[in-house]
């Protein structure tokens, strides 16, 4: 008997937990601010309804209909497509291996937050003290011991949560989803009561409608939706596969998509109120203190925290606990996407699979916490997200849009769901999303060939970028071959 979520709420919480991650806090506010402020909400919500939610319905629905993770689900459409499924869950395994780095940093920062260890030199603290960043990707060095502890804590947590499969996840997400939200509210209250907060928020939201004329803004909106909803990584297919046969899909997908985007929008207030305050304290305009990515979480925020008039350690701890609880449910969702695929095929216990996965992934992840590890982290992240996931998303839409009986799929979803899907869903999968993903892919490729990402040496992006994507392809081929072999043995036994 296949494992099941405790309840529909548990499933929706887990889906929201995987979608809501660091991207909501450190990517969305910045992208919005840079892309027309309040006006960005227009392309963003259009992207949500024309691509994000249709694909979320596709993924959750496919997992539920086939009762399999991505490899089995695509294999049920055409046996050879199992290979494609292995590739997508391979990407998710790849993501969790480098995503764990951010969690390792967060554990170490949590430790330093107790005494605001970064002092007034947050940038130097991050780069020189924590990362001890080397001069380039060629100079790797050995893993840094304190980050090894952070990394070990991360994998131990993931193992403990996944050891008992989705039944355990059903319980854990009732903590890891609401807790960071409550903590964000605490940070927001603190942020809004600081001088300069409103200047920050004005920067965040002042609409610049002229920006909407630029195609780049639209592509950015689709890219952000895609990343934010954890699409194309097999996560939502795997989670959907643990739903009962008659479980509701469409409304659950709508709730997940809207909650995720609402949380992103809300996180912008937290981030920009703090940045507004920081700009006021430093006597500079807000654009000078804005930052995205690691710069926001590990430099700008720590500075803002140490500038607070009181309770600095308290807010420091709250901030890093927020990051940890935001990230951990995205991490275990990614690992579960992969192990669900394996379990469908070889019927191993969740505990054993979680253990084997962590035993392999933990040593590999140590690469990212060496002195040169940051560069490799950056390159692999870029390639997996900008090329790997976009290509996987494109493949997924084309497969379901053209090779599966998509009309019947819609009828099926409408039978079991509270919200009925119109034919627009099919158009979204067949035309709108593939067209946009193709353009994104081409633009990303052109940009990369014009100039190397971040000016990294080409050999590094060949190894860390294309090389890593090729390794996943190879891994997919191997798993596919073994799986076909297992099937043929079973057939002979019958
Ligand atoms: N959706 C997560 C975020 O916004 O932080 C990141 C992510 C998780 C992306 C899982 C992709 C993925 F497969």
Q: Looking at the domain assignment, is residue 2 inside a domain?
A: no
- Please tell me if the CB atom of residue 92 comes closer than 6 angstroms to any atom of ligand 1: yes
What is the sign, positive or negative, of the torsion defined by CA atoms of 258, 261, 266, 269? negative
Minimum CA distance residue for ligand 1 atom 13 = 230
- For residue 370, the enclosing domain spans 8-488
Q: How far is the CA of 283 from the centre of ligand 1 (A)?
A: 35
What's the pLDDT score for residue 374? Answer: 94
What is the sign, positive or negative, of the torsion defined by CA atoms of 277, 281, 286, 291? negative
Q: Phi, psi at residue 135, to the nearest 5°?
A: -80, -15
Q: What does pTM read for this prediction?
A: 0.94
- Please tell me if the CB atom of residue 23 comes closer than 6 angstroms to any atom of ligand 1: yes
Q: Looking at the domain assignment, is residue 493 inside a domain?
A: no
- Ligand 1 atom nearest to CA at 227: 9
- Please tell me if the CB atom of residue 15 comes closer than 6 angstroms to any atom of ligand 1: no
Extract the tokens encoding 473: 């392809």
* Residue found under tokens 């990362």: 131
- Please tell me if the CB atom of residue 306 comes closer than 6 angstroms to any atom of ligand 1: no
- Residue 116: left if φ>0, alpha if ψ -120 to 50, beta else—which one? left
Q: Looking at the domain assignment, is residue 61 inside a domain?
A: yes
* Residue found under tokens 């854990």: 172
What is the chain's pLDDT, residue by residue, as a tens digit (494 residues)? 889 999 999 999 999 999 999 889 888 888 888 888 889 999 999 999 999 999 999 999 999 999 999 999 999 999 999 999 999 999 999 999 999 999 999 999 999 998 888 888 888 999 999 999 999 999 999 999 999 999 999 999 999 999 999 989 999 999 999 999 999 999 999 899 999 999 999 988 889 899 888 888 888 888 889 889 999 999 999 999 999 989 999 999 999 999 999 999 999 999 999 889 989 988 988 888 877 778 888 888 888 888 888 888 999 999 999 999 999 999 999 999 999 999 999 989 999 999 999 999 999 999 999 999 999 999 998 899 889 999 999 999 999 999 998 999 999 999 999 999 999 999 999 999 999 999 999 998 998 889 888 889 999 999 999 999 999 999 999 999 999 888 888 888 76
**Total domains in the fold of the chain:** 1
Minimum CA distance residue for ligand 1 atom 11 = 230
CA–CA separation, 472 and 239 (whole Å): 22
- Please tell me if the CB atom of residue 264 comes closer than 6 angstroms to any atom of ligand 1: no
CA–CA separation, 143 and 11 (whole Å): 37
DSSP type of residue 213: G
- Ligand 1 atom nearest to CA at 21: 5
CA–CA separation, 234 and 482 (whole Å): 20
CA–CA separation, 368 and 338 (whole Å): 21
pLDDT tens track for 271-304: 999 889 989 988 988 888 877 778 888 888 888 8
- Please tell me if the CB atom of residue 94 comes closer than 6 angstroms to any atom of ligand 1: no
- Please tell me if the CB atom of residue 294 comes closer than 6 angstroms to any atom of ligand 1: no
Q: How far is the CA of 231 from the centre of ligand 1 (A)?
A: 8
Q: How far is the CA of 322 from the centre of ligand 1 (A)?
A: 16
Residue 252: CB partners within 8 Å, gap ≥ 6?
8, 11, 12, 15, 60
Q: Looking at the domain assignment, is residue 271 inside a domain?
A: yes
Q: What is the 3-state secondary structure (H, E, C) of 120-187?
A: CCHHHHHHHHHCCCCCCCCCCCCCCHHHHHHHHHHHHHHHHHHCCCHHHHHHHHHHHCHHHHHHHHHH
pLDDT tens track for 345-394: 998 999 999 999 999 999 999 999 999 999 999 999 889 988 999 999 99
Extract the tokens encoding 226: 């895609």
Q: Which of 325, 380, 101, 336 has the alpha carbon at shortest distance from 233?
A: 336
Q: Looking at the domain assignment, is residue 126 inside a domain?
A: yes
- Please tell me if the CB atom of residue 21 comes closer than 6 angstroms to any atom of ligand 1: yes
- Please tell me if the CB atom of residue 260 comes closer than 6 angstroms to any atom of ligand 1: no
Q: Looking at the domain assignment, is residue 396 inside a domain?
A: yes
Q: Looking at the domain assignment, is residue 364 inside a domain?
A: yes
**Helix (H) or strand (E) run with residue 113 in it:** helix 82-113
Q: Which of 447, 448, 446 has the alpha carbon at shortest distance from 465?
A: 448
* Residue found under tokens 């919200």: 419
- Please tell me if the CB atom of residue 372 comes closer than 6 angstroms to any atom of ligand 1: no
Q: How far is the CA of 225 from the centre of ligand 1 (A)?
A: 10
Q: Looking at the domain assignment, is residue 1 inside a domain?
A: no
- Up-side HSE of residue 45: CA atoms within 13 Å toward CB? 8
Longest dimension (CA), the chain: 77
- Up-side HSE of residue 330: CA atoms within 13 Å toward CB? 27
What's the pLDDT score for residue 326? Answer: 93
Q: CATH no. for residue 123?
A: 1.20.1740.10
- Please tell me if the CB atom of residue 228 comes closer than 6 angstroms to any atom of ligand 1: yes
């Amino acid at each position: 008997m296949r494992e099941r979520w405790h309840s529909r709420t548990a499933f929706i919480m887990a889906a929201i937990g995987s979608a809501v991650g660091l991207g909501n806090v450190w990517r969305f506010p910045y992208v919005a601010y840079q892309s027309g402020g309040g006006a960005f909400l227009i392309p963003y919500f259009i992207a949500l309804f024309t691509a994000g939610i249709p694909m979320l319905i596709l993924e959750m629905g496919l997992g539920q209909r086939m009762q399999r993770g991505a490899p089995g689900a695509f294999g049920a459409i055409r046996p050879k497509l199992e290979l494609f499924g292995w590739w997508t869950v391979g990407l998710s395994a790849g993501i969790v291996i480098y995503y764990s780095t951010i969690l390792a940093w967060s554990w170490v920062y949590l430790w330093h937050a107790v005494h605001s260890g970064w002092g007034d030199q947050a940038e130097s603290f991050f780069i020189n003290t924590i990362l001890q960043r080397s001069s380039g990707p060629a100079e790797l060095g050995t893993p840094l011991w304190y980050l090894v502890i952070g990394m070990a804590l991360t994998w131990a947590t993931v193992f403990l949560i996944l050891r008992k499969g989705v039944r355990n996840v059903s319980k854990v997400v009732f903590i890891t989803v609401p807790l960071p939200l409550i903590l964000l509210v605490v940070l927001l209250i603190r942020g809004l009561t600081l001088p300069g907060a409103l200047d920050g928020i004005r920067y965040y939201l002042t609409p610049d409608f002229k920006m909407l004329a630029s195609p780049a803004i639209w592509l950015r909106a689709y890219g952000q939706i895609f990343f934010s909803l954890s699409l194309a990584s097999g996560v939502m297919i795997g989670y959907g596969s643990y739903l009962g046969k008659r479980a509701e899909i469409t409304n659950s997908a709508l709730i997940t998509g809207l909650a995720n985007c609402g949380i992103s929008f809300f996180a912008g207030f937290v981030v920009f109120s703090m940045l507004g305050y920081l700009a006021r304290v430093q006597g500079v305009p807000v654009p000078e203190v804005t930052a995205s990515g690691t710069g926001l979480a590990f430099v700008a925020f720590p500075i803002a925290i140490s500038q607070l008039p009181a309770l600095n350690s308290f807010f420091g701890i709250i901030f890093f606990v927020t990051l940890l609880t935001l990230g951990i449910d995205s991490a275990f969702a990614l690992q579960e996407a992969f192990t669900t695929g394996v379990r469908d095929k070889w019927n191993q216990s969740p505990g054993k699979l979680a253990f084997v996965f962590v035993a392999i992934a933990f040593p590999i992840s140590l690469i990212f916490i060496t002195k040169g590890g940051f560069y490799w982290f950056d390159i692999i992240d870029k390639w997996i997200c900008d090329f790997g996931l976009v290509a996987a998303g494109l493949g997924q839409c084309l497969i379901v849009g053209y090779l599966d009986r998509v009309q019947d799929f819609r009828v099926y979803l409408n039978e079991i769901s509270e919200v009925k899907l119109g034919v627009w869903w099919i158009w979204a999968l067949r035309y709108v999303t593939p067209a946009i993903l193709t353009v994104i892919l081409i633009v990303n490729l052109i940009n990369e060939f014009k100039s190397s990402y971040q000016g990294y040496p080409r050999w590094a992006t060949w190894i860390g970028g294309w090389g890593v994507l090729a390794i996943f392809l190879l891994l997919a081929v191997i798993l596919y071959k073994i799986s076909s072999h297992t099937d043929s043995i079973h057939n002979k036994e019958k």
